[in-house]
Amino acid sequence: MKKLILNTTLIFLLSALFHFVYTLCPNPITALFFPVNESIWEHFKLLNTATFVFSILEFCKVKEKNFFTKAFLRMFFNLILLACLYLPIFSLFGESLPITLMILFISIFLSELLLYILPWEKSSSRWNLVFSLLILAFIMMFIYFTYHPLHSKIFLDLETKQYGLDQ
């Protein structure tokens, strides 16, 4: 249980730290991985980046055999849980920072709990390869939609009324 709380807290803190990277250092490199605006999509990218960076840091410490499997599952669970918890509440009540942060923390915690419960360690090296390609696809998808966002509510920054890097 301590590891669940620690992992959750570290991913949450990385998310908080990464929230401001593009604002402090706006350039094409930071735009690839960090949120460029306050849209829901860019916050999903933020969680994706924080989760992947945490997974890399964890791998450096633990040297898990199935790194890509665990990293992908963590990223996937985080995004699905955040979408399932956040989107309905956002639709009903709009943006509320305390509620958003609470939902983010709960999403990360539930994701870590699923990783703890599921028998992902028994996956083969073939699955590890598949998941490494899926991680790359995730990252590429977030990058693509930062530069070419759909004109949909999820991509709209409600503060500036802009999409992605639209000027």
The pLDDT-based confidence of 13 (bands split at 50, 70, 90) is very high
The pLDDT-based confidence of 96 (bands split at 50, 70, 90) is confident
**Domain range summary for the chain, segments of one domain joined by +:** 2-163
Alpha carbon 49 to its chain's center: 5
φ, ψ dihedrals at 163, nearest 5°? -115, 130
Mean pLDDT throughout 4-25? Answer: 95
Q: Which stretches of 1-124 are DSSP H helices?
A: 2-18, 21-24, 28-33, 40-62, 67-93, 97-117
- CA 51 to CA 42: how far, in whole Å? 14
Mean pLDDT throughout 41-47? Answer: 94
Higher pLDDT, 1 or 147: 147
Distances in whole angstroms, Cα of residue 58 to Cα of each of 54, 61, 67: 6, 5, 9
* Residue reference for tokens 């999409």: 163
Q: Is the pLDDT of residue 24 over 90?
A: yes
Mean pLDDT throughout 121-129? Answer: 76
Q: What is the pLDDT of residue 94?
A: 81
The pLDDT-based confidence of 123 (bands split at 50, 70, 90) is low
Residue 156's DSSP bridge partners are 163
Q: Per the structure block, which two tokens stand in for 101?
A: 């942060």
Neighbours of 79 (CB within 10 A): 19
Q: What is the pLDDT of residue 127?
A: 84
